[in-house]
Structures are given as structure tokens and as C-alpha cells.
Amino acid sequence: MWAAGPLLLLLPLLLLLLRRWRLGTARLDPSGRAVLITGCDSGFGHLLALRLHRLGFTVFAGCLCPGGAGARRLQREGETRGRLRVLPLDVTCDRDVLAAKELVLSHLPERGFWGLVNNAGISTFGETGWLSMEKYEKFADVNLLGSIRTTLAFLPLLRKYKGRIVFMSSIIAYFTLGNGIYSMTKAAIEKFCDALRLEMKKFGVQVCIIQPGNYARSTKIQPLISAEEIWNELSEEEKAVYNKEYVQERANFFNSILSEGSANGDEVVDAMVDALTSPAPKARYMVAKLKEKALVFVCALFPTVVMDSVLSYALSK
């Protein structure tokens, strides 16, 4: 036990030296390196595609709707500078993922495939019994299996070029406030990343997780909630338990959270860029307000009963 004492005293010094080394080492030269990003129609994926292209990367921007406004904007950017290519990509479709891999292979720049950013995701609101089994399956397929599907397809290339894999998670992986279906998928992807990160070390591939707080106003992942739509979708069994007034209260509560979200998505994109370009990227990048980080701290270090009390109080307000 006493032998561990000196190591604990040295830990802060080692962390300080590591930080200075990270800051003092030259960042990656992006020229001639390719990155594939999923979910580029809007939000963080869209912003990241533009940022990486302007930094000098060759960017493959996967869009669910290649004819949509977001994809068209990216296409115009690609026409201007020539290193950004938009491709149709539904991460739930094996055919789309394999077609994306073939396209990347046929247009690899001289330094090869550097990064995969698993950004595509969906979100919704609803208590556990309000959501159908079909909805649970859809969320698991997009948010969890979609990331796994693209990762498995591009793993050989990432190992070959000793690249980076970046996953979009959320602080909601630690707790939930009315969107347990989203929390479930993010908690699962965190564990997948933890296993993958350790396994990829021997190949020189680094795996990073981005954990944003509430950035609802800077993305289109979660629109405002309509209590009427929620009520109309409830089963008769659920309607017998809840009433319209309760559903309206929950919708108002969740909409108030959404309205408080940060509109500055560039903060999250900064973390994603660091994960791709830093000589010593972090395993996790938490980009959140102080009160959001405090909730994560309470969840991680205090007994479950304490966290339940905190969240129950928040829900009651």
C-alpha cells in the first residue's frame, strides 16, 4: 500500500509534463490525408467537413440526403477547393457503407486514409413505455450499430495507415432526463470504444470519444417536442396511466432544456479537430457547461441514490 504513495504524488507532475509535451509537439500535417465523416447533412458533421477541408484534408462527407441543402453546400465547397466529396451514406445500410469504402479506396490521396468520424445520430424524447419496440430498434441501428458497421468496414484501412477513429457520444451517456433511448445508445457506444481503444493500440490506431453537453440549438438532432404528437402516438395502455396534462408538462420541461442549449457548435468541432490532428489526442473530450460536468461528476463518484435524488428534483421542477 505504501509503495503506491510516491506514484500518487508523481501523477500530477506526469500529467503536467504530458500536457506541455502535447502543446509543444507539432500538429499533424493534413495534406494528402483522407477523412470520412458520417452524418454531414447538418450539425457537427457538416461543420467538421467544412473545417477539415479548409485545413487541407481530403474529406469524404457522408450524407443521408445527398440532394438536401446541407449536402449541396458541401458540394459547392468541394467545387471551389477540390478536396471535398459528398457521398450518399445511410449508416444502417450495409450496401451504402461498402459503396462508401469503395469510393474512398478509389480516391485515396497520397498519404492514405487517416480518419473515420462516426458522427451520424438521432435523438428523441419519451418515457420508456411511450416508445415502440420499432423505435428502440431504429435508435440502436443508427446510433450504435451504424457506428460499429462503418468502423468494421474501415478498420483494415485505419490499421494500414495508423489512423484515428472518432466517435460522437454525449454526457447523456452518464445520466438521462427524459431521453433514455438516446442515453442507452450513447452508453453502449462508450463501452464499444473502450474495448476498441485498447485493442487498436498495438496497431498505432487511436480512438477518441467526443462528449458534448447540450448543443441542441446548434444541431438538428432534436427538434422541439409536440405534446399532442406524443399523446397521439401513445398506446391505449399508456393513455390509461398518463393524462394529457402530464405529457404537456414533460414536453414543456424537455423543450426548456433544448432552448438552453449552446448555439456555438464550433466548440465541439474544435475538440473533433484536436482528436484528429493532435500528436497526443485525449481518449475523451468532454465539451460541456460547468453544471453539466458537475452532474457527470456526481454520477461518477456518488452512490446511485444521490444521483437519482438530483435528477428526480430536476424533473420535478
Residue type at 8 in one-letter notation: L
By the 8 A CB rule, do 285 and 209 touch? yes
Q: And the C-alpha cell for 234?
A: 401513445
User: In angstroms, rounded to a whole number, what is the distance separating the alpha carbons of residues 211 and 220?
Assistant: 17
User: In angstroms, rounded to a whole number, what is the distance separating the alpha carbons of residues 166 and 147?
Assistant: 10
In whole angstroms, how far apart are CA 154 and each of 25, 199, 294, 300?
28, 15, 36, 33
By the 8 A CB rule, do 288 and 211 touch? yes
Has 174 been annotated as catalytic? no
In whole angstroms, how far apart are CA 235 and each of 126, 132, 174, 228, 251?
13, 9, 29, 14, 17
Strands in 164-168's sheet, in edge-to-edge order, are: 84-88, 58-63, 34-37, 113-118, 164-168, 206-212, 284-287
Cα of 63 vs its chain's centroid, Å: 16
DSSP classification of residue 261: S
User: In angstroms, rounded to a whole number, what is the distance separating the alpha carbons of residues 20 and 170?
Assistant: 27
Please give the angle made by the CA atoms of 136, 62 and 183, to the nearest 5 degrees.
30
Ordered alpha helix ranges (H), the chain: 4-24, 43-55, 69-81, 94-106, 133-139, 146-161, 180-200, 227-233, 236-241, 244-259, 266-277, 290-301, 304-316
Residue from 182, 242, 285, 313 carrying the catalytic annotation: 182
Q: Rg of the chain over CA atoms, in angstroms? A: 21
Residues serving a catalytic function are 182
